[in-house]
């Protein structure tokens, strides 16, 4: 349903261009749940904005296409995009606090979105707004509430309700739970999953917390320094991560059950995208580096249905490493 | 373990609203706990549960409405002179959540550390201050060359290390760390957590680690205090509490922690989680009764009438055995150290509210 191919996004800065998203390709099927994980600055939010065509200068899509339901979003005009947004594709932003208009009631904001897509009479507007609010577990009396009167969790739910006004085919979520505590976080995740099962929309869910999506997403995309490090089935990646970065990320989570083991985390810091190295971008932090990593840029290679960007899995270098 | 700090019935209320609608927010209500020497105590709870207020009370940033804090046996309310204040803030420094706003962007990071040394250890000469600054930087895992950098040249993890270096420069006994890793990326969090255990083990510092992340608390802490709505719900050695939480809220909190290594939750568990969407209350002009009551599935009549007190559980139970049977680490259990504020648990019932 959604096909991202070769998407590249660059930021023009004083010190030249920074390639925040570099040649990213993947597909999302109908009703699929794709989790995108990565550290701050790895380009995951930029990727998301690139898909939704929400980038504003100095960011610019320099290559690639985003094909949604057979049409290339990158080539569309604003007017064409406006017709698709909310109706077929909606976005839930990271901070509902900032995404909702503080001087308008929740109901008025829902009505705005509905009117923009041709629902103009009052009755269906109110009926639909109440319906979606009920879907996310909020009492419809809150249509009259202003954002500040809702708690953080309720605001996030209201944002999700708004995204579901037209029962879109794809909902893009940018860390919708990051401001919530664990209990609220889990109940929101479960609810999102529940709604997905009922309504059948696909989800792209961006987060920095890998453990959050471990039980909810079908597929997982691990991003590092603007590129796909590893992409494949979620359970498979959690069970046997291939890329040293995914492995490091997984091992960086202390568990609350099982024996307590000392953890190391990943040494070093996320890379600066304005200086692209010749070899592998993960090299400075990699515990398994080899000589050719400094000179060869690894490509994505397929292994057991998982695509991974690491020379360890390129057949000829495998021998060299051992 | 020698006791370093003790809070007795610590209470902090805030007045909110205008003159005619004056109400009282009970941010921290009747909280008692102690922190030993060379001990990391984790203080966990949801946002709004009062955990940061506790830290600020201990740091003397707020004056308590009631109760008192004893540091090395002496009440901190008795601290009056500038010298005593300075000494206390050096012995009990804070490390803040946001490393991006807690360092001054216009000075090199050495400025903060040297200033702390000048204020708190005036006996040192300029050269000794430099040497000491280098030493604390090395302890927190930063090279001496980092001293000459500006905050914007450092990553988030490095900046947070600078925060710990500043705290360390004053030769602290207890560091109050308010969510020190929550703004950092997963891959560098562990480094900071390891630093905290190192400070305890090699520098002999106690740490109050305030967090909502139970897994990281388990990784570093010796003891766990769980707060709910301004009160303590449960206290105990952290492995004990995690192996056999007694308070329904602790059980809820633990059940919500995502565990990537565990198999996916059952449909029934998920359905139960959908029903559980309560949120911690804002405690404004509270009436007697348990504050967890509206979300509690095991409540009884008394819960709505009497506020449960934090009490040592007397009934002994085979927690260690049960944990071992479930394939988990067996933990030596000493029930006498576990305190719970729940009528149902105190009546001897084995509470199973959330699993």
ipTM reported for the complex, 2 dp: 0.78
Are the beta carbons of B155 and A270 separated by less than 8 Å? yes
Average confidence (pLDDT) over B140-154: 87
Q: Which two tokens mark A270?
A: 């996320």
Average confidence (pLDDT) over B138-142: 89
pLDDT at site B115: 92
pTM over 0.90: no
Find tokens 């590129």 and name the residue. A227
pLDDT at site A316: 60
**Residue B38: pLDDT over 90:** yes
Instruction: Measure in Å the smallest separation between the Cα of B295 and chain A Cα atoms.
Output: 12
What are the percentages of helix, strand and coil residues in chain B, rounded to 5? 40, 20, 40
- Crossing angle (nearest 10°) for helices B186-203 and B156-169: 20
For A208, the closest of B186, B218, B253 (CB atoms) is B186
Least confident of A65-79, B55-69, B260-274: B260-274
DSSP code, position B307: P
Residue of A257, A262, A270 for testing the chain B interface, max B β-carbons within 10 Å: A257
**Residue A19: pLDDT over 60:** yes
Residue of B97, B187, B219 for testing the chain A interface, max A β-carbons within 10 Å: B187
Q: How far apart are CA B191 and CA B180, in angstroms?
A: 12
**Residue B324: pLDDT over 50:** no
Least confident of A19-23, B105-109, B145-149, B181-185: B181-185
**Residue A321: pLDDT over 60:** no
The model's confidence at residue A184, banded by pLDDT at 50, 70 and 90, is confident
Average model confidence (pLDDT) across chain B: 84
**Residue A70: pLDDT over 80:** yes
The model's confidence at residue B327, banded by pLDDT at 50, 70 and 90, is very low
Backbone angles phi, psi at A36, to 5 degrees: -115, 120
Interface check B277 vs A, CB under 8 A: yes
Which residue of A lies nearest to B282 if distances are taken between CA atoms?
A: A151
Asked if residue B17 lies in contact with residue B184, where contact means CB atoms within 8 angstroms, the answer is: no
B63 vs A120, higher pLDDT? B63
Laid out side by side, the sheet with B66-71 consists of B23-36, B3-16, B66-71, B74-75
- Crossing angle (nearest 10°) for helices A122-135 and A106-116: 120
pLDDT at site A35: 92
For A256, the closest of B190, B242, B264 (CB atoms) is B242
The model's confidence at residue B98, banded by pLDDT at 50, 70 and 90, is confident
pLDDT at site B69: 94
Q: Which of A91, A96, A45 is nearest to A207 (CA)?
A: A45
Listed in sequence order, the residues at least 6 apart from B139 whose beta carbon sits closer than 8 Å to its beta carbon are: B165, B168, B198, B199, B202, B203
Sign, CA dihedral A216-A221-A225-A226, equals negative
The model's confidence at residue B338, banded by pLDDT at 50, 70 and 90, is confident
Give per-residue pLDDT as tens, A130-151: 988 888 888 888 888 888 888 7
pLDDT at site B319: 42
The model's confidence at residue B273, banded by pLDDT at 50, 70 and 90, is low
Average model confidence (pLDDT) across chain A: 85
Sign, CA dihedral A270-B187-A232-A91, equals negative
Q: How far apart are CA A262 and CA B286, in angstroms?
A: 43
The continuous run of DSSP H or E covering A199 comes out as helix A182-199
Backbone angles phi, psi at B33, to 5 degrees: -165, 170
Asked if residue B283 lies in contact with residue B230, where contact means CB atoms within 8 angstroms, the answer is: yes
Are the beta carbons of A182 and B214 separated by less than 8 Å? yes
Q: How far apart are CA B135 and CA B103, in angstroms?
A: 19
Alpha helices (runs of H) in chain B, residue ranges in sequence order? 51-58, 82-91, 109-120, 126-139, 156-169, 186-203, 214-220, 238-243, 248-255, 267-275, 319-325, 343-346
Q: Are strands A71-72 and A16-28 parallel, antiparallel or unpaired?
A: unpaired
Asked if residue B71 lies in contact with residue B151, where contact means CB atoms within 8 angstroms, the answer is: no
Average confidence (pLDDT) over B161-186: 89
The model's confidence at residue B204, banded by pLDDT at 50, 70 and 90, is very high
Q: Which two tokens mark B296?
A: 């509690």
Least confident of B99-103, B197-201, B265-269: B265-269
**A-chain residues near B294 (CB < 8 A):** none
Q: Which two tokens mark A117?
A: 């897509």
Residue of A33, A253, A287 for testing the chain B interface, max B β-carbons within 10 Å: A253
**Residue A189: pLDDT over 50:** yes
Backbone angles phi, psi at A180, to 5 degrees: -105, 160
Max avg pLDDT among A47-51, B91-95, B313-317 = B91-95
Least confident of A244-248, B318-322, B326-330: B318-322
How many CB atoms sit inside 10 A of residue B337's CB? 13
Interface check B15 vs A, CB under 8 A: no
Q: How far apart are CA A313 and CA A307, in angstroms?
A: 10
Average confidence (pLDDT) over B109-133: 92
pLDDT at site B55: 93
**Residue B314: pLDDT over 60:** no
**Residue B318: pLDDT over 60:** no
The continuous run of DSSP H or E covering A206 comes out as strand A202-207
Asked if residue B276 lies in contact with residue B354, where contact means CB atoms within 8 angstroms, the answer is: yes
Which residue of A lies nearest to B214 if distances are taken between CA atoms?
A: A256
Q: Which of A292, A283, A294, A296 is nearest to A243 (CA)?
A: A283
Average confidence (pLDDT) over B200-227: 92
pLDDT at site B278: 60
Give per-residue pLDDT as tens, A191-235: 888 889 888 899 999 988 888 888 888 999 999 988 999 999 988
Average confidence (pLDDT) over A147-162: 84
**Residue B304: pLDDT over 70:** yes
pLDDT at site B114: 93
pLDDT at site B336: 53
pLDDT at site A150: 82
**B-chain residues near A39 (CB < 8 A):** 185-187
**A-chain residues near B276 (CB < 8 A):** 183, 187
**B-chain residues near A235 (CB < 8 A):** 264
Asked if residue A97 lies in contact with residue A147, where contact means CB atoms within 8 angstroms, the answer is: yes
Asked if residue A38 lies in contact with residue A205, where contact means CB atoms within 8 angstroms, the answer is: no
Q: Are strands B3-16 and B174-178 parallel, antiparallel or unpaired?
A: unpaired
pLDDT at site A52: 87
Coil, strand or helix: which one is A76? coil
Are the beta carbons of A183 and B218 separated by less than 8 Å? no
The continuous run of DSSP H or E covering A205 comes out as strand A202-207
pLDDT at site A69: 84
**Residue B118: pLDDT over 60:** yes
Instruction: Measure in Å the smallest separation between the Cα of B6 and chain A Cα atoms.
Output: 28
Give percent of chain B above pLDDT 90: 45
pLDDT at site A181: 77
Are the beta carbons of B329 and A259 separated by less than 8 Å? yes
Q: How many CA atoms lie within 13 A of A256 on its CB side?
A: 23
DSSP code, position B104: -
Q: How far apart are CA A126 and CA A147, in angstroms?
A: 18
Give percent of chain B above pLDDT 70: 87
**A-chain residues near B262 (CB < 8 A):** 257
Q: How far apart are CA B250 and CA B354, in angstroms?
A: 9
B224 vs B323, higher pLDDT? B224
pLDDT at site A249: 86
pLDDT at site B264: 65
pLDDT at site B189: 85
Q: How many CA atoms lie within 13 A of B51 on its CB side?
A: 27
**A-chain residues near B252 (CB < 8 A):** 183
**Residue B29: pLDDT over 60:** yes
Instruction: Measure in Å the smallest separation between the Cα of A221 and chain B Cα atoms.
Output: 15
pLDDT at site B193: 92
Are the beta carbons of A190 and B218 separated by less than 8 Å? no
Residue of B279, B327, B330 for testing the chain A interface, max A β-carbons within 10 Å: B279
Which residue of A lies nearest to B155 if distances are taken between CA atoms?
A: A269
Listed in sequence order, the residues at least 6 apart from A121 whose beta carbon sits closer than 8 Å to its beta carbon are: none
**B-chain residues near A255 (CB < 8 A):** 215, 218, 259, 261
Backbone angles phi, psi at A38, to 5 degrees: 175, 170
Laid out side by side, the sheet with A202-207 consists of A89-92, A170-174, A202-207, A33-37, A219-224, A227-233, A306-309, A300-303
Are the beta carbons of A187 and B185 separated by less than 8 Å? no
Q: How far apart are CA B66 and CA B9, in angstroms?
A: 7
Q: Which of B255, B349, B269 is nearest to B303 (CA)?
A: B349
Laid out side by side, the sheet with A16-28 consists of A16-28, A2-13, A59-68, A71-72
Interface check B18 vs A, CB under 8 A: no
């Amino acid at each position: 349903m959604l096909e991202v191919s070769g998407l590249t996004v660059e930021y023009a800065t004083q010190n030249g261009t920074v390639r925040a998203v570099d040649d990213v390709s993947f597909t999302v099927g109908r009703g699929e749940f794709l989790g995108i994980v990565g550290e701050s600055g790895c380009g995951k939010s930029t990727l998301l904005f690139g898909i939704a065509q929400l980038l504003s200068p100095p960011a610019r899509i320099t290559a690639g296409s985003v094909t949604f339901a057979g049409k290339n979003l990158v080539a569309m005009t604003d007017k064409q995009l406006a017709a698709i947004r909310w109706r077929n594709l909606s976005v839930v932003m990271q901070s509902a606090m900032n995404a909702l208009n503080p001087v308008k009631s929740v109901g008025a904001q829902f009505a705005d979105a509905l009117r923009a897509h041709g629902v103009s009479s009052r009755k269906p507007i109110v009926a639909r707004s109440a319906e979606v609010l009920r879907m996310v577990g909020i009492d419809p009396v809150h249509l009259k509430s202003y954002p500040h009167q809702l708690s953080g969790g309720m605001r996030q739910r209201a944002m999700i309700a708004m995204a579901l006004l037209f029962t879109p085919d794809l909902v893009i979520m940018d860390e919708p739970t990051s401001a919530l505590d664990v209990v609220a976080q889990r109940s929101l995740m479960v609810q999102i999953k529940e709604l997905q099962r009922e309504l059948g929309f696909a989800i792209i869910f961006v987060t920095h917390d890998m453990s959050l999506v471990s039980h909810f997403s079908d597929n997982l995309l691990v991003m590092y320094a603007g590129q796909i490090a590893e992409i494949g089935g979620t359970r498979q990646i959690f069970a046997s991560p291939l890329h040293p970065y995914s492995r490091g990320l997984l091992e960086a989570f202390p568990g609350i059950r099982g024996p307590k083991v000392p953890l190391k985390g990943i040494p070093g810091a996320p890379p600066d995208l304005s200086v692209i190295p010749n070899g592998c971008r993960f090299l400075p932090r990699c515990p398994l580096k080899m000589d050719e990593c400094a000179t060869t840029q690894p490509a994505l290679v397929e292994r057991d249905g998982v695509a991974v960007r690491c020379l360890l899995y390129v057949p000829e270098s495998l021998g060299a490493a051992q | 373990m020698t006791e370093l700090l003790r809070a007795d019935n610590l209470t902090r209320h805030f007045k909110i609203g205008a003159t005619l609608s004056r109400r009282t927010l009970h941010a921290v209500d009747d909280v008692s706990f102690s922190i030993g020497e060379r001990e990391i105590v984790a203080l966990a709870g949801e946002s709004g549960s009062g955990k940061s207020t506790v830290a600020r009370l201990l740091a003397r940033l707020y004056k308590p409405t009631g109760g008192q804090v004893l540091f090395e046996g002496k009440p901190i309310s008795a601290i009056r002179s500038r010298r005593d204040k300075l000494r206390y803030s050096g012995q009990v420094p804070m490390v803040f959540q946001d490393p991006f706003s807690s360092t001054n962007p216009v000075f090199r990071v050495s400025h903060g550390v040297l200033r702390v040394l000048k204020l708190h250890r005036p006996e040192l000469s300029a050269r000794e201050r430099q040497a000491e600054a280098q030493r604390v930087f090395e302890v927190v895992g930063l090279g001496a060359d980092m001293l000459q950098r500006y905050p914007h040249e450092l990553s988030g993890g490095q900046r947070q290390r600078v925060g710990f270096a500043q705290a360390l420069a004053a030769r602290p006994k207890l560091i109050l760390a308010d969510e020190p890793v929550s703004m950092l990326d997963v891959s560098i969090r562990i480094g900071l957590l390891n630093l905290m255990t190192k400070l305890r083990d090699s520098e002999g510092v106690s740490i109050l680690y305030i967090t909502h992340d139970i897994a990281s608390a388990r990784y570093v802490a010796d003891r766990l205090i769980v707060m709910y709505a301004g009160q303590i719900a449960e206290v105990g050695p952290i492995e004990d509490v995690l192996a056999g939480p007694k308070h329904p809220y602790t059980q809820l909190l633990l059940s919500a922690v995502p565990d990537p290594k565990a198999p996916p939750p059952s449909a029934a568990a998920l359905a139960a989680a959908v029903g559980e969407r309560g949120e911690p209350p804002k405690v404004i002009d509270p009436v007697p009764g348990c504050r967890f009551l509206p979300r509690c599935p095991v409540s009884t009549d008394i819960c709505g009438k009497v506020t449960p007190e934090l009490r040592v559980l007397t009934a002994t139970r085979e927690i260690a055995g049960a944990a071992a049977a479930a394939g988990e680490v067996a933990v030596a259990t000493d029930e006498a150290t576990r305190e719970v504020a729940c009528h149902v648990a105190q009546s001897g019932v084995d509470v199973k509210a959330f699993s």
